[in-house]
Amino acid sequence: MREGVPRGVPEQKGVPGTGFVVDGFKAAGNVAGATAFFLTHAHGDHYGGIERWKREFYCSTVTAALVCGKFGLDPTLATTIDPGQGAVEVLGVAVTAVDANHCPGAVQFLFEVSAAVGRGGQ
């Protein structure tokens, strides 16, 4: 297990040194220590579990429209970060969306974890 990834979150879905979970809605909805959730794009193998989601999550504007519309989610749960917007601070971490050139709304997230945040985790 990588240091800083909450127990119960698959290693490849956690951002070390934070409580962040990427595309891990099925696995991490009730995991202690999971502090922020990110959705890269609207493909079923990435959004699985979001159909019953009741917590805030981060994604692009297009992805928010797709998953909120498909599952009837409250659109206020989706906080959008879009390519070209610049970094957004999420719990002390600078998060930037980068176009993934994959499907409409698909992004990669760049997480800039400071040494202070990385040591203490979130």
Tens-digit pLDDT profile for residues 7-33: 777 777 888 889 899 988 887 666 777
Domain coordinates of the chain in residue numbers? 11-120
8 Å CB contact between 103 and 43:
yes
Q: Spell out a b/e string for 26-37, using b for 16 or more CB atoms within 10 Å of the CB, else e.
A: ebbbebebbebb
Q: What is the pLDDT of residue 121?
A: 46
Spans in the chain with pLDDT lower than 50 = 1, 119-122
8 Å CB contact between 111 and 20:
yes
- Level-2 CATH architecture, domain 11-120: 4-Layer Sandwich (3.60)
Q: What is the pLDDT of residue 107?
A: 97
Q: What is the pLDDT of residue 16?
A: 87
Q: What is the pLDDT of residue 14?
A: 82
Q: Which two tokens stand for residue 7?
A: 């127990």
Q: What is the pLDDT of residue 17?
A: 85
